[in-house]
């Protein structure tokens, strides 16, 4: 974990993307990032999507610096500052004596004891069409570097609310908590990544454009103006959290899929109920919704579910035995424009022919190029520490290589 130079420390971590099946939308405390309702998500496998962060700590650094995808960013961003502040506070709390500080930081030189150690962070995002935050790998890597143990929800949450659910693999809930200081607003795994091995995830990339209304501002307006959001948070979500947990624990796909779609639809209904309204779905998103319902109707059961976040891309949940047929249905409805061979990324999916009955049931006017590409993936583990020093994104001088 630590680099070769005894006075320095360098840690590289990766963290996964998570997709909410019970959505978080709205804060009761903007500064601490505390939500108005609990939420529940599925952690995606890092073989297909991940963020990587290297943290370096050295006695030679005179200031904090951060690079994102090779470009230096403003280290004064409030959320990054919150992450750094929380990590250092935890470190200082756990290290009251010089001896324990030395113990926590291994070989870090003694004359730094009692002073705040400067950190450098470098993040890179791999294949990230969804909203991906470097908050979790940053929080995780910082915690590893500073030797902070225990729950990191508080640190990760302050980088980005939904990011705290990426602290664990498998199926994760973010409990809204009740305390004003947010100490009980934490992420918790409800089932590990190997719990439901047949579950598959398809990300249908509709548009990689930047979203029109950012989540942070969007949810502020919704909290102020949407009566439906208030009703949802108080009267709908508590029951749905229990029901979704049951569906996952019992591997009840029909229940899981229907509730996932209903919760996505209600989240987008609260966006439309916001004033002025927010609209994240586009025509292609609505065609995907229609495709899923027609596919399920044809089969006489719920075999596929969609969910949409603060953008037009669809995330599809299905089971292993349905992936190939549904991918063929997407190809049929959205014929790839020019990149037929690059249409499918990630897990291998065998090509299959659609039956004439299914084609007739889908009854679609093909929309060429509507879906740019698909990423096929599955449920995966939580953040990982990379042991190989070749994985570091910062060189021995603490700077990112020029070609990053
Ligand atoms: C979610 N989303 O549960 C919901 C569904 C988008 C739609 O959490 O302000 O980027 O950093 O707490 O976490 C996006 O919101 O917002 C989000 P902040 P965040 O995944």
Give me ligand 1 centre to Cα 26, in Å: 9
Token pair in block for residue 263:
């919760």
Cα(386) to ligand 1 centroid in Å equals 27
- CATH number of the domain that 274 lies in? 3.30.70.890
- Asked if residue 58 lies in contact with residue 395, where contact means CB atoms within 8 angstroms, the answer is no
Q: What is the pTM of this model?
A: 0.88
The atom of ligand 1 lying closest to the CA of 22 is 3
- CA dist list (Å): 76 to 80, 88, 162: 7, 16, 21
Distance CA 284, CA 277 (A): 19
Beta-bridged to residue 44, according to DSSP, are: 379
User: What distance in angstroms lies between residue 213's CA and the mean position of ligand 1's atoms?
Assistant: 12
217 CB neighbour count, 10 Å cutoff? 10
**Are residues 172 and 224 part of one domain?**
no
Q: Does any domain span residue 398?
A: no
Which among 111, 105, 110, 113 is positioned nearest to 145, based on CA atoms? 105
Query: Which pLDDT belongs to residue 129?
Result: 42
The answer to whether residue 2 is domain-embedded is: no
Nearest CA to ligand 1 atom 4: 24
Nearest CA to ligand 1 atom 8: 162
Question: Does any domain span residue 52?
Answer: yes
Give the per-residue pLDDT at 108.
Answer: 29
Integer Cα distance of 264 and 50 in angstroms:
23
One domain, residues 143 and 177: yes
What is residue 342's predicted lDDT score, i.e. its pLDDT?
Answer: 85
Question: How far is residue 210 from each of residues 137, 213, 267, 276, measured CA to CA in Å?
Answer: 22, 9, 20, 20
DSSP sequence for 115-137: SPPPEEEEEEEES--S---THHH
For the chain, the domain total comes to 2
Residue 400 lies in a domain: no
Task: Say if residue 203 is in the same domain as residue 270.
Answer: yes
If asked whether residues 142 and 260 sit together in one domain, one would say no
Give the per-residue pLDDT at 1.
41
The rounded distance, in Å, linking the Cα atoms of 270 and 267 is 5
Range of the domain at 288: 199-378
For atom 20 of ligand 1, which residue has the closest CA? 20
Ligand 1: residues with CB < 6 A are 20, 23-25, 33, 39, 131, 160-162, 215-216, 267, 309-310
What spatial distance separates the first Cα and last Cα of the chain, rounded to whole Å? 21
Residue 396 lies in a domain: no
Residue 59's domain is classified under what CATH number? Answer: 3.30.230.10
Dihedral (CA of 91, 76, 127, 245) sign: positive
Quote the ligand 1 centre to 316 CA distance (angstroms): 18
Would you give per-residue pLDDT tens digits along the chain (404 residues)? 444 443 467 788 888 889 999 999 999 999 899 999 999 999 999 999 888 888 877 777 777 787 777 778 787 778 777 777 777 776 665 554 433 333 333 222 222 223 344 555 655 544 444 445 556 666 777 677 666 677 788 777 877 889 899 989 999 999 999 999 999 999 999 999 999 999 999 999 996 566 578 889 999 999 999 999 999 999 999 999 999 999 999 999 999 999 999 999 999 999 999 999 999 999 999 999 999 999 999 999 999 999 999 999 999 999 999 999 999 999 999 999 776 678 999 999 999 999 999 999 998 888 998 999 999 999 999 988 888 888 888 777 777 776 54
Token pair of 18, please?
């998570």
Shared domain check, 247 and 146: no
* Ligand 1 site-directed mutation target among 309, 313, 314, most atoms within 8 Å of CB: 309
Q: In this structure, how many other beta carbons lie within 10 angstroms of the beta carbon of residue 161?
A: 25
| Residue to mutate (ligand 1; options 15, 153, 160; most atoms within 8 A of CB) | 160
Torsion sign over Cα 380, 385, 391, 397: positive
Ligand 1 center to 9 CA (angstroms) = 32
Closest to 46 measured CA to CA, from 18, 21, 12, 68 = 18
Contact by Cβ (8 Å): 136, 51:
yes
């Amino acid at each position: 974990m630590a680099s070769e130079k005894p006075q320095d420390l360098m840690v590289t971590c990766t963290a996964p993307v998570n997709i909410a099946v019970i959505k978080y939308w709205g804060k009761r405390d903007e500064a601490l990032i505390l939500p108005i309702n609990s939420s529940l998500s599925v952690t995606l496998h890092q073989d297909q999507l991940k963020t990587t962060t290297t943290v370096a700590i050295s006695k030679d650094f005179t200031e904090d610096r951060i690079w994102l995808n090779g470009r230096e960013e403003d280290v004064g961003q409030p959320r990054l500052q919150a992450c750094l502040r929380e990590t250092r506070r935890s470190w200082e709390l756990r290290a009251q004596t010089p001896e324990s500080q030395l113990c926590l930081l291994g070989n870090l030189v003694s004359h730094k004891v009692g002073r705040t150690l400067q950190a450098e962070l470098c993040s890179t995002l791999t294949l990230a069409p969804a909203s991906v935050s470097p908050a979790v790998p940053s929080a995780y890597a910082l915690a590893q570097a500073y030797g902070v143990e225990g729950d990191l929800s508080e640190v990760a949450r302050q980088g980005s609310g939904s990011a705290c659910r990426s602290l664990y693999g498998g199926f994760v809930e973010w409990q809204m908590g009740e305390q004003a200081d947010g100490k009980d607003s934490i992420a918790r795994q409800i089932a590990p990544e190997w719990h439901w091995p047949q579950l598959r995830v398809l990300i249908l990339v509709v548009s990689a454009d930047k979203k029109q209304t950012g989540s942070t501002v969007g949810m502020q307006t919704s909290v102020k103006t949407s009566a439906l959001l208030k009703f949802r948070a108080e009267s709908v979500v508590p029951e749905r959290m229990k029901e979704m947990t049951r569906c996952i624990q019992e591997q009840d796909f029909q229940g899981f899929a229907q509730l996932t779609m209903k919760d996505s639809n209600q989240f987008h209904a609260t966006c439309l109920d916001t004033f002025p309204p927010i609209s994240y779905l586009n025509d292609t998103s609505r065609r995907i919704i229609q495709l899923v319902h027609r596919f399920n109707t044809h089969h006489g059961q719920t075999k596929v579910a969609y969910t949409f976040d603060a953008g037009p891309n669809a995330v599809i949940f299905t089971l292993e035995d349905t992936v190939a047929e549904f991918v063929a249905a997407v190809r049929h409805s959205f014929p790839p424009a020019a990149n037929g061979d690059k249409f499918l990324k990630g897990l291998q999916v065998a090509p299959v022919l659609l039956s004439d009955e299914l084609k007739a049931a889908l009854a679609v006017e093909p929309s060429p190029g509507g879906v740019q590409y698909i990423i096929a993936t599955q449920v995966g583990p939580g953040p990982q520490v990379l042991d190989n020093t070749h994985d570091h994104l910062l060189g021995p001088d603490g700077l990112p290589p020029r070609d990053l």
